[in-house]
Amino acid sequence: MTVWLTVAASSVGRAVRHVFRALRTAQSRRRAWFENRAIRGMFLLRQWLSPQQRQQLECFNYFEVVGCDSGKSYRIQQGVCQNVFELDGDGRPRMGWCFVPQGNLVPGDVMLAQKIALETDEWGALAIAKQFLVPPLPPFALAAA
Amino acid sequence: MATQIVMDHTGDTRHHFDAKDLKALAQAERRFKVLTGDGFTAATRQATGDVSLVRSFDPNAEETVFYPRLVGG
């Protein structure tokens, strides 16, 4: 009886270890897949940015575009929502605009779609976008700016 | 080689085709119509870096990117 129980426990232990190993492998594959698609998205975005925008992205994690209809400047920050800011004359965010392409897209793709939309059909993009308020800069930041 | 880049959940899917091959060109045009019919927006990039929207299939475009319909977030 004792021998039988020992053998059974050992088999169960092996099976559990096997399942855990399989889960870990699946998890790392999934993580690699997510990282890979995010990298591809950023690669595509960089290809489509102007040299100046590419430099801004490298340095600040955002880039600026000029709206084709109003001539206003917008800042597109790295992200997938609430990442587009209309800038005032001093280059400070004054209003947020949220619009994204449908579907589960990676940040690079979302940012590229936002750039193309603002540079080619600004009014169309803003017509569907939702506005959000930008928190005011703290006094020390205003003084520094 | 011309390329059509379709944004999707995998990052993007690329379709390469030879613009001199009539069969491949027809297939690319069909893909263009299906995607734009589904609400995708097509855009091309000039050598200067300027981006422009494309309303109809351009057989001379080297690279066309398609992104899904925009929605308010």
Query: In B, what residues contact A, Cβ < 8 A?
Result: 5, 7-12, 39, 41, 43, 45, 49, 51-53, 65, 67-73
| Domain chopping of chain B, boundaries | 2-67
Query: Looking at residue A139, what is its pLDDT?
Result: 65
- Residues from chain B that touch A37, judged by Cβ atoms under 8 A, are 9-11
Domain assignment of residue A140, yes or no: no
At B2-48, the pLDDT tens digits run 999 999 988 899 999 999 999 999 999 999 999 999 999 999 987 77
The pLDDT of residue B17 is: 95
> Which tokens hold the place of A71?
């001539």
Task: Tell me the residue range of the domain where A20 lies.
Answer: 1-135
Contact B12 A130 (CB under 8 A): no
Q: How far apart (Å, rounded) are the C-alpha atoms in residues B9 and A105?
A: 5
Segments of chain A with pLDDT less than 70: 1, 32-34, 137-145
Residue A29 phi, psi dihedral angles, 5° rounding: -65, -45
CATH match for B2-67 among 3.10.20, 2.60.40, 1.25.40, 1.10.3470:
3.10.20
pTM for the whole structure: 0.83
Q: How many domains does chain A have?
A: 1
Residue A62 lies in a domain: yes
Q: What's the CA gap between A70 and B54, in Å, rounded?
A: 21
Q: Do residues B62 and B2 make contact, with C-beta atoms less than 8 angstroms apart? A: yes
Question: Do A86 and A66 meet the contact criterion of CB atoms below 8 Å apart?
Answer: no
Q: ipTM of this predicted complex?
A: 0.93
* Record: contact B11-A103, CB cut-off 8 A: no
Interface of A with B (CB under 8 A): 36-41, 44, 48-51, 81-82, 98-106, 108-109, 112-113, 115-117, 119-121, 125, 128-130
- Residue A145 belongs to a domain: no
pLDDT tens digits, one per residue of A18-31: 888 888 877 777 77
Task: Give me the residue from A49, A98, A121 closest to B72, CB to CB.
Answer: A98
Residue A45 lies in a domain: yes
